[in-house]
Amino acid sequence: MKVRYIEEHHAGKNMTFHQRRSELEKPKPPLTFLRCKNCGTEHSRLFKHNDYIFKEIRGEEDKCPKCGSPEMIIVNIYVPEEREKQGRG
């Protein structure tokens, strides 16, 4: 049986139809939203194992980008939806 590949030019390299399809089917990674307990600034990062809502985080890795405080709290976790492209009439 002969398999026929349809090639597409994508991201600067040739990809087969099957490679492109599997790339599109990959789920988006969830984001964790953190709020600084000192100044209230919110920012996001990729979800980490054991993240949960209202978890208090103290550490240098997730410090506030505005005031530098190491005390943060997780306020939200979700996977952002990709907006559908609207076609022309």
Residue 61 resides in a domain: yes
Domain of 38 in residue numbering reads as: 31-78
Note the pLDDT tens digit of each residue in 70-88.
Answer: 999 999 999 988 766 555 5
The CATH number that applies at residue 58 is 2.20.28
pTM over 0.85: no
Rounded Cα distance, 3 and 10, in Å: 21
Cα 57 from Cα 34, distance rounded (Å): 9
Taking the C-alpha atoms of residue 62 and residue 59, their distance in angstroms, rounded to an integer, is: 6
Q: Is residue 74 part of a domain?
A: yes
Count of structural domains, the chain: 1
Distance CA 72, CA 66 (A): 12
Q: Is residue 6 part of a domain?
A: no
C-alpha–C-alpha distance, residues 86 and 68, integer Å: 41
Number of H helices, E strands in the chain: 1, 6
Asked whether residue 70 is domain-assigned, the answer is yes
**What is the reported pLDDT for 81?**
82
CB atoms within 10 A of CB 36: 21
Confidence class for position 46, pLDDT limits 50, 70, 90: very high
pLDDT tens, residue by residue, 15-40: 676 666 666 677 889 999 999 999 99
